[in-house]
Amino acid sequence: MIKKILLVMFLILTISSSVCGAPAQEPIEIYVNQNKIDSDVTPIILEGRTLVPLRVISENLGASVHWDNAERSVKVTAFSRSILLKIDDTEAIIDGETITLDVPAKIINDRTLVPLRFIGESLGAEVDWDNTLRRVIVNSGIPKIIGLSYEVFDGNQSVVISGDLPLDYSYQEVGENKLVVDIKGEMKVRDNSLHVYDNLVEKVFMAAIDADTPLTRTVIDISPEVSYQVHQTADGKAVVVSFANNLNDIDISRHGDDLHVKLATTSQADINYFFLTNPDRLVVDIAGALLSVDTPSVPNNDYVKDIRLGQFSTNPNTTARVVFDLKKVANCQVYQDGNITTVIFSSVKDRLVVIDPGHGGSDPGAVCGNIREKDLNLDIGLKLKNILEERGLKVFMTRQDDTYMSTYARAGMANELNADVFVSIHHNASESPSGSGTETLYYPDTEKEALASAIQKSMVKNVGLKDRGVVERPGLVVTRETMMPSALVEVGFMTNSDELALLINETFRQRVAEAIAEGIMNYLAVKAD
């Protein structure tokens, strides 16, 4: 018994001696940008990964931290980045994208600890581990300012200051008409000044203010009463000062039977214009513009009933919209000269459209049972003729009954008439019954493509068949040989049972005719000179 007791005591002493004699490891140190950071919670190593106090690291890298106690989650925001972590969850979310971590965030001594490399690199920092010194080394790096430009950015005239890393910036107005943007970073641009002298900005000058910090200052001389917004790109690597153009005058005058409308903006703007029906109206969108004008009264005229103004904004972009409510379909010419956009309304009564119902006579086209393509083409053509004539256009049909005419004769007839538009109506067929959809064919030419696009867009919107797009087809005689804008519409597939059921329905064919008419009117109404 005594021997057993002595043996146990010997083992206890041996183990105690071994533990006491083990060298204690040095605590892990944190260095951020060469400065030692003190924390009440020491970093730990878990499963081969170094976990560090989140708040200590993030705040020394210029980030903000928000703790959600209910969700047991922490959100870190820096520049334009957003990082979301949940305690004991290996999934993190960066800017909406889910990332899997090797080890999750932990709470130790009431402090949130996170994987060092993940949080550091997510905030754009360089992260190292010195095993000898047991030291965490984090360097955020000093951004370099590498670009200064004056350009159109997201539809707005803008001063763009770009760097190689996410930028920390502030801005303020100083004195009269001067905007100062300060960025923590080293100036590396070759040309540090821009002489603009437009109606928004006079000049831009950049200089290094503090070489030790370092700090780069950009001074922008802006015109009086110019609106602007300062924001960052999604990656945080550029600061953008966007200037809102102003629509500041609308002048309306009559010139004979025509109506001229001049839209004056502070500087030249990107515009988009289009024609809508039911009711008829012309819409002019001015990108990057703010409304600085009252709705004008409209003098007595044959074309424009009313003018409406609207403001659309998607921060930081904005669009001024001018809507012309029309008394009837008019020919609308839209063109720009510097900061002036002019819209001229005139009559369409002298416009001639040639409608060509494909095939006819001895040429039936595609045949499915007792349904012949030539009959469908003619029916839609006659319906289209009535619609266009009701809207004040002159119309000529290459055939109004079941007669045959060669393709060269059809094109030659349109040329002799000096028509403004030529539209040929056809239906598709395929060896496969699954072929489906509508398409519009054209000969390679800018105006012919524009007409085809207008018709195809209207067909897709109003008829509802699959969009097969506009198709360049150099070999088609009727579109190749016609001297005016021309297009060939393939309404649908007769060999597709579902589409054939629609094509033999008169109500559907009326809808097709109305869609083609709208496409033609859209093309004529907004055809710019």
**Catalytically active residues, by annotation:** 490
Any residues with CB less than 8 A from the CB of 200 and at least 6 apart, and which? 157, 222, 223, 226, 243, 245, 266, 267
Q: What CA–CA distances, in Å, run from 246 to 45, 133, 233, 426, 507?
A: 59, 61, 24, 47, 47
Tell me which residue of 477, 482, 487, 496 sits closest to 522, measured CA to CA.
Answer: 487
- Tokens 């932990």 sit on residue: 106
The DSSP line for 187-239 is E--S--EEE--SSSEEEEEEEEEETTTTEEEEEEEE-TT-EEEEEE-TTS-EE
SS in 3 state form for 296-357?
CCCCCCCCEEEEEEEEEEECCEEEEEEEEEECCCCEEEEEEECCEEEEEEECCCCCEEEEEE
The DSSP line for 75-137 is EEEETTEEEEEEBT-SEEEETTEEEE-SS-BEEETTEEEEEHHHHHHHTT-EEEEETTTTEEE
Q: Which two tokens stand for residue 223?
A: 């015109």
- Distance between CA atoms of residues 162 and 238, nearest Å: 4
Is residue 316 within 8 Å of residue 362, measured between CB atoms? no
- Tokens 């067929």 sit on residue: 429
What sign does the dihedral 8-9-11-12 (CA atoms) show?
A: positive
Burial 135-165 (b: 16+ CB within 10 A, else e): bbbbebeebbbbbbebeebebbbbbbbbbbb
Angle (CA) 7-11-17 rounded to 5° is 145
Any residues with CB less than 8 A from the CB of 178 and at least 6 apart, and which? 219, 220, 221, 222
Give the 3-state secondary structure of residue 140. coil
- Distance between CA atoms of residues 286 and 320, nearest Å: 5
Cross-strand pairs, 216: 183, 208
- Distance between CA atoms of residues 241 and 181, nearest Å: 9
Q: Give residue 339's identity as a one-letter amino acid code.
A: N
Q: Which two tokens stand for residue 493?
A: 């597939």
The DSSP line for 429-459 is --SSTT---EEEEE-S-HHHHHHHHHHHHHH
- Distance between CA atoms of residues 313 and 286, nearest Å: 12
- Distance between CA atoms of residues 502 and 492, nearest Å: 9
